Amino acid sequence: MFTLDLMLKNTPLPISVQRKEAEDAQAVYQQVLSAMGASTPEIIELTCEKQEDKKIAVFSDQISAVMISQKSGATSSGRVPGFFSAVAAE
């Protein structure tokens, strides 16, 4: 399973959708990159293959980053790779 995370301006949490195949994930990644580079903002609508009723729509000018990661069986905690979370001990 491949996860595509979209980071939005002024939003601390990513928006994520999943794809089963690497080629599909790359196609969505390229679609988002093209929309980010366009001179006029456009709406990007994405669906998720893991949760089929999940849909998101976002303006391309609000996307600040896009990332693809592969979810392995060992790291199925649901956390986004590359981000650190700390909890204060009492």
User: Residues 69-89: pLDDT tens digits?
Assistant: 987 655 445 555 555 555 566
Question: Which residues lie across from 55 on neighbouring strands?
Answer: 47
- 65 or 75: which leads in pLDDT: 65
Question: Which residues lie across from 44 on neighbouring strands?
Answer: 58
pLDDT value at position 51?
A: 87
Tokens 């669906």 sit on residue: 47
Is residue 58 within 8 A of residue 43, CB to CB? The reply is yes
User: Residues 36-52: pLDDT tens digits?
Assistant: 999 999 999 998 888 88
pTM here is: 0.72
